[in-house]
Amino acid sequence: MTARAASTVLVGRQPELAGLREALGRARAGDPVTVLVGGEAGVGKTRLLEEFGAHATGAGARLLIGQCLELGEAGLPFAPFAAALRDVLRHDGPAAFAGYEAEFARLLPELARVPAGAAAPTGLPVSDTPRGYLFDLVADLFRRIAEERPLVLLIEDLHWADRSTRDLIGFLVRAARATRLLLVCTYRTDELHRGHPLRPFLAELDRARGVDRIELGRLDRDGTGAILADLLGAEPAARAVDDVHGRTQGNPFFIEELAAAGDPVGCAVLPETLRDLLLARVDRLPEPAQRVLRIAAAGGTRFAHQLLAEVAGLPEAELEDALRVAVAGQLVVADPDGDYEFRHALFREAVHDDLLPGEHARLHARYAAAIEAQPHLVAAGRAPAEIAHHWYAAHDHPRALIAARAAAAAAADRYAYAEQSRLLERVLELWELVPDAADRLGMDHLRLLEETVAAANTAGDLSRALTLTRAALAEMDSAAEPLRAARLLDQRGRLLALLGKSDGAAELGEAYRLAAGVPDGPERIGLLSDIAAHLMKVDPAQAASVAAEATVGAEAVGADLALLPTRIAMLCRTQGIPDLGLAELRRAEALARAADDARALVSALVYLSDVLYELGRYAESEEAAAAGVSEARRVGISRSIGAYLLSNRAEALIALGRWDEADAACAEAARIDPPGVSGLHWLQLRAGLRLARAHPAADELVGRALAFLARPYLWPNHRLPLRELRIEAALAADDKVAALAASRAALADERLIDLPREGWPVLSAVARAAALVGDAALAAEASAVAAVLPARYPAELAHAAQVTAILTGVEFNADTPGAPAGQSGVAGERPGAPAQRSGTALPAWREAVAQWRAVGQPYPLGRALLALAEAAAAAGERDEVAGAVREAAEIATRLGAAPLGEQAATLARRVGLRGAGRPGPDLLTSREQEVLRLVAEGHSNSRIAEQLFISPKTASVHVSRIIAKLDVTNRVEAAALAHRLGLLDPTPPATPAQRRGR
């Protein structure tokens, strides 16, 4: 993936941009304003000014830009003003300077029209013109320019300004009170050392009236992700964003540099250009300060003074002097607690990478020894990880092995499973380098592999966990230790399914075979429970049998049912309990809380939120999922089982109509980046949400979600929603061919009739596609599935009512292939086109609306209301049309569902409703209604002209206007729409003989 060199989007600067726009508004009103924009190098000051400059120009302001040069106090005086005046000369000519060319020549030499040393109009040589007089002339020039239109003067890099430039800026700020002038100056905060001349100048300006300050901070993680997405042309993986954000700390320039290096995750080695740029700042420091920075870099981005003193071994005064220089040079920042931090992580990385090999190993060994001797020198709880890191970096393999194993155990105690997994991987690496590793650790290699599998699995690194299970099984003696082997096989089967590689049934079957010959005990019962839970989506009948066996064993040995919430949920589903086992799940939740078993609690809350959703108790579902999210975050399992809670919460929020909150929950899931199919649910939900809102990034998310269908295996409850999404995406794009293909693929899914919760939404989408395209065979297939698909819970009942309404309200031409016998088509309508039968469609849609209203999901209610309005229009029920359209429009506005709102507006216009859905004048004139009736009868323009005694050209004009007013693409669609909405005058048009007699 190749990245562009620079981002084209402005990310995370909306408040600052709004502040500049507000300042321009004040200047436009005659109140001169100065805005000082500060921020570190590369943070995006120039990009912000570019965006604002484009806005200012578009708003009718005059824009002048000046740049200070990196020459300091000895540089070219007035350099930014010279650039601005040069632009004035280029666009306005010498006349803009009103005869004072000689005076302005001090700022702009090309204006000097008299020989050097000749008298200026004031009687003084140009070089000796009083500065106050010159400043007055500049202010007057800007005033005259601003009289025509507001003037925006942008001056960049004020930290390089010479004194003359600063004095002129100060004069304009204080003296230029009668102009519509907005002065914007940028400067680098990391260049302002204690003695920098800009510091007192900024302090003086702060006391002047009309001076505002804007400080640009670094971007947050989402901002980093947005820039990467723009640079790479696709949404990057969450781990890539984490890596780049961690290294760049949200500095846009650094983000661009790392992305341009080639690897989207951020190159392992700093690009040479960036490294040289960073080290140039370090090279300006005296050697003692550089030496201390090198020592500090080995300790990390943040370091304590006492730890640095222990490692450096320098006299306190010498160390403090060196740190003072580094702080003054804006390379290190001191905090009130006495610690220090490199101003930017990449500064530390560049300095650390510049260490000599021997120096690198020596420094890290000194850090490891110092922290081992005094663990309090680092943050509480961090000593084990720090010691492991430093011994590893020092290449002391035996010590690094022991330290990494101890640090992994400490990480697990803190629920830091990702860190535990990385540390155990290091132990595996060092195992091969330390001959007596088993004796040093007191464990065999197989045990280490099992620990690493568990840690990687919990941390969400499923691919690595799967690889490790293969290695562990190769070392396993299943005959000697059947339960141990069965546990690994159960894990491997689940991992295969989660990664979409297979259903894992073979592994689960072998795991059950091994466990079957082992006497009952808590370990065997827990394993059987897990096998049953994993089999639930593969083979429900076998899952029920294994779960029943586990239940009998649990009762015999007194195993706590709170540890088996997955089994409870599975049993309740297979037994057909009306409340889906809600009471049992509540009991499991309570027992897990009482036992302080976080994993059991999170598992119970996953199923609890899911069951509550299916029962239509969306608010309770959202509360349960939110509680689970907090608990999963607390114990560090957000990327594993906790990932389902985020998507369950988003699903409930979508149902409640709280779409902004749902999108935020999906964004949180994206940041966590759940692995395998555990990351599919949020992706599918957000893709559907963006489709419903016509979001610009909808197509990308839809594509990412649908890519899961290409995997060798996908659980049916994940596959069916994707089939629905594919149909919805095709309908949103008005791609009828794709909609039909997706619909037929959905109906061919063998598990469609087994899963009503997922099946009914799919069937609703298929029915809509059949109605839109007019495919009688597809409608008949949908009707057949609807006849056998059970509907027991609120949303299923509402979907069933909607499918019935769609299929009831559609009839097809008799010549349509597959059309039911005895159905007559509408004259003049294209073969296969649907038409609403008001006699049957209207009551059916009333029932569908009532069902969705009872369910409480606003979006499908809004869709049903529009269909009801169409049916009511066809039946001539205009008051009902108005109410339904108005309510649908209100729902669309509340949800931000732009397409739904556009459909409501279009329908309102077609049936002659005014703004808020009140009946108004008909959309078509009486003559256009006559023409439309003849179009619907299939007449050509010539025949229409003959019938109405008008010219063919006039008839063509009427037809074109009708097509435009009805917002259709051709006369066939106009005719179909006229029939569907009852737009035709019930009074038949006069015959030619009747017209001649008038």
Angle at 51 between CA 47 and CA 57, to 5 degrees: 140
Angle at 288 between CA 285 and CA 291, to 5 degrees: 90
Three-class secondary structure assignment of 691-714:
HHHCCCCHHHHHHHHHHHHHCCCC
The radius of gyration of the chain's CA atoms, rounded to the nearest angstrom, is 37
Strands of 33-39's sheet in order across: 62-67, 151-156, 181-188, 33-39, 211-215
The predicted structure's pLDDT at residue 967: 75
pLDDT band at 152 (very low <50, low <70, confident <90, very high): very high
Q: Which residues does 941 contact at the CB level (< 8 Å), separation at least 6? A: 952, 955, 956, 959
Query: Has residue 813 got a pLDDT over 50?
Result: no
Query: Has residue 75 got a pLDDT over 80?
Result: no
Q: How far is CA 67 from CA 20, 73, 161, 548, 626, in A?
A: 19, 15, 9, 78, 52
pLDDT band at 293 (very low <50, low <70, confident <90, very high): very high
The predicted structure's pLDDT at residue 821: 32
pLDDT band at 231 (very low <50, low <70, confident <90, very high): confident
Give per-residue burial for 834-856: e unless 16+ CB within 10 Å, then b. bbbbbebbbebbbbbbebbeebb
The predicted structure's pLDDT at residue 261: 67
Query: Has residue 569 got a pLDDT over 60?
Result: no
Residues 800, 806, 809, 815: is their CA dihedral positive or negative? negative
Average pLDDT, the chain: 84
Phi, psi at 169, each rounded to 5°: -65, -45
The predicted structure's pLDDT at residue 915: 52
Q: Give the CA count within 13 Å in the CB-facing half-sphere of 509.
A: 7
CA distance 257 to 240: 14
The predicted structure's pLDDT at residue 600: 83
CA distance 255 to 239: 14
Three-class secondary structure assignment of 529-577:
HHHHHHHCCCCHHHHHHHHHHHHHHHHHHCCCHHHCHHHHHHHHHHCCC
Residue 304: strand pairing partners? 339
The predicted structure's pLDDT at residue 212: 92
Contact 3, 259 (CB under 8 A): yes
Phi, psi at 342, each rounded to 5°: -60, 135
Of the candidates 80, 489, 13, the residue with the CA atom closest to the CA atom of residue 252: 13
What pLDDT, in 10s, does the model give residues 478-522? 999 999 999 999 999 999 999 999 999 999 999 999 998 888 888
Q: Measure the CA dihedral 267/270/273/277, to 10°.
A: 140
Of the candidates 441, 430, 283, 294, the residue with the CA atom closest to the CA atom of residue 366: 294
CA distance 252 to 347: 15
pLDDT band at 558 (very low <50, low <70, confident <90, very high): low
What pLDDT, in 10s, does the model give residues 310-340? 999 999 999 999 999 998 888 898 887 778 9
Angle between helix axes 898-910 and 952-966 (nearest 10 degrees) is 140
Q: Measure the CA dihedral 598/604/606/608, to 10°.
A: -140
What pLDDT, in 10s, does the model give residues 463-482? 999 999 999 999 999 999 99
Query: Has residue 405 got a pLDDT over 60?
Result: yes
The percentage of the chain sitting over the pLDDT mark of 70, rounded to a whole number, equals 87
The predicted structure's pLDDT at residue 587: 83
pTM across the whole model:
0.76
CA distance 227 to 241: 10
The percentage of the chain sitting over the pLDDT mark of 90, rounded to a whole number, equals 47
Q: Show the tokens assigned to 289.
A: 């300060």
More confident residue, 929 or 315: 315
More confident residue, 770 or 936: 770
The predicted structure's pLDDT at residue 305: 92
What pLDDT, in 10s, does the model give residues 937-974? 777 888 887 777 688 888 788 788 878 777 777 877 77
